[in-house]
Amino acid sequence: MVRIYWHFRTLLAWSLAVLAFIAFALTNPAFLNAGNLYSLLQSFAVLALVATGLAIVMIAGEFDLSIAGTIPLAGLIAVKVGETAGIPLGVAAAIAVTVAVGVLNGWLTAHYAVPSLAVTVGTLVLTIGLGFAVAGGKIVTLTDFEPGLWLDQAIAEIVSPRALLHVVLVVAAGWLMAKTWSGMKIRAVGSDRQRSSASGLPVTRVLILAFVISGLFAGVAGALQGLTLASGAPGSDEATLLQAVTAAIIGGVALTGGKGSIPGVAAGAMLLAVVGNGLSLQGTSTAIIQLINGGILLLIVVIDRPLNRIVNKSVENSMSTTQHRVPTNH
């Protein structure tokens, strides 16, 4: 019953995304233009990658606010170091820093039993301050435009190498969570940390892994975005953080931990990307788009509440039946 419920949540998110896509395609012929589909897939790929990293932390029962700081910091470092030492070293340095932030988040949360919200607020402020220190309060630019142009060149007119790389990482994360022991451990820790610890699971390492994946994905998204823009600036990216949270919840990730799927998160990201793209094409203001995104999230929550109650009742009845079943002696 529980598995059917989460499959339904994923199906619901994808169904809404498909319906939104069809609605915009029927009401605005320009929506299906190759250039617009390219823009749509670019937005989806970045959001799906960041939301997937955050979702893994949420499934582990924690939260990562620091991605709002690591995304711009990664872009800034990739541009700053890439300008002087070469693009590969710049990207490597950016990802190394964001992974280190992930290690710090996971270790502090697990080792000192500090709530991750408090820890990641601290590392968010830390990454913002580090960004200003690196940039000296200025916008840093990259004189070599070729890497960015290559990353965003159109393949079949609708997708770019950067978007494809993001999607590959999302698929890899989905495989990790669905098919490996690491994914099972993340779910177990998110479901019941005390029982997981008592059963011998390495809770600290599991939490560090979850935060490292979040930092890695935010770092990749930020670094490649910095290269395509050929510039980086210190600050924070709360807009992407809020969209990532919304995509994860729409996709079925539970705020209480232990539940959720990466395909569902991808569906949530696609729904937000389609709605944002379609409304922008019609000239809708950013404020109205944000209101509509909030309405979609509230609708999903309202639909989810009775379904979740039914599933919980079914599980309780099943456990009660099992406990009261008397073995028959032959």
User: Would you say residue 38 lies in a domain?
Assistant: no
Does the pLDDT of residue 294 top 90, yes or no?
no
Determine the pLDDT at residue 326. Answer: 47
CA-to-CA distance for 157 and 134, rounded, in angstroms? Answer: 37
Rounded distance between C-alpha atoms, residue 304 and residue 241, angstroms = 22
219 within domain boundaries: yes
Q: What is the pLDDT of residues 191-201, one digit of tens each?
A: 999 999 899 99
Note the maximum CA span of the chain: 83
Q: What residue ranges in the chain does DSSP mark as E strands?
A: 140-141, 231-232
pLDDT above 90: percentage of residues in the chain: 73
Strands (E), 178-269: 231-232
Triad 44, 49, 54: Cα angle to 5°: 125
User: Would you tell me how many other CB atoms lie within 10 Å of the CB of residue 13?
Assistant: 27
Asked if the structure places residue 183 within a domain, the reply is yes
Domain presence at residue 218: yes
The 10 Å Cβ neighbour count of residue 149 is 12
Give the residue with greater pLDDT, 329 vs 87: 87
- Mean pLDDT over residues 16-43, rounded? 95
pTM for the structure as a whole: 0.91
pLDDT at 269: 97
Output the pLDDT for position 12.
85
Residue 93: CATH number of its domain: 1.10.3470
Mapped onto helix, strand or coil, the DSSP state of residue 319 is helix
At 35-74, the pLDDT tens digits run: 999 999 999 999 999 999 999 999 999 999 999 999 999 9
Is 197 within the bounds of a domain? yes
For helices 87-111 and 203-229, angle between their N-to-C axes, nearest 10 degrees? 150
Whether 43 contacts 239, CB under 8 Å:
no
Please say if the pLDDT value at position 3 is more than 70: no
Structural domain boundaries, residue 234: 46-310
Q: Rg of the Cα trace of the chain?
A: 21
What would the pLDDT profile of 128-179 be if each residue is shown by its tens digit? Answer: 999 999 998 788 999 999 999 999 999 999 999 999 999 999 999 999 999 9
Cα–Cα distance, 307 to 4 (Å, whole number):
11
Question: Quick check: is 20 in a domain?
Answer: no
Is the model's pLDDT at 313 over the cut of 70?
no
What's the whole-number mean pLDDT along residues 205-233? Answer: 97
Tell me what percent of the residues of the chain surpass a pLDDT of 70: 90
Q: Residue 34: inside a domain, yes or no?
A: no
pLDDT for 10 equals 86
| 189 domain residue, yes or no | yes
The helix or strand, by DSSP H or E, that contains position 180, with its residue range, turns out to be none
* pLDDT confidence band for 324 (50 / 70 / 90): low
Structural domains in the chain (count): 1
Residues 235-279 have pLDDT tens digits of: 999 999 999 999 999 998 988 888 899 999 999 999 999 999 999
Partners of 140 in the β-ladder: 232
* Spatial CA neighbour of 265 closest among 2, 6, 24: 6
Euclidean distance between CA atoms 237 and 247, whole angstroms: 16
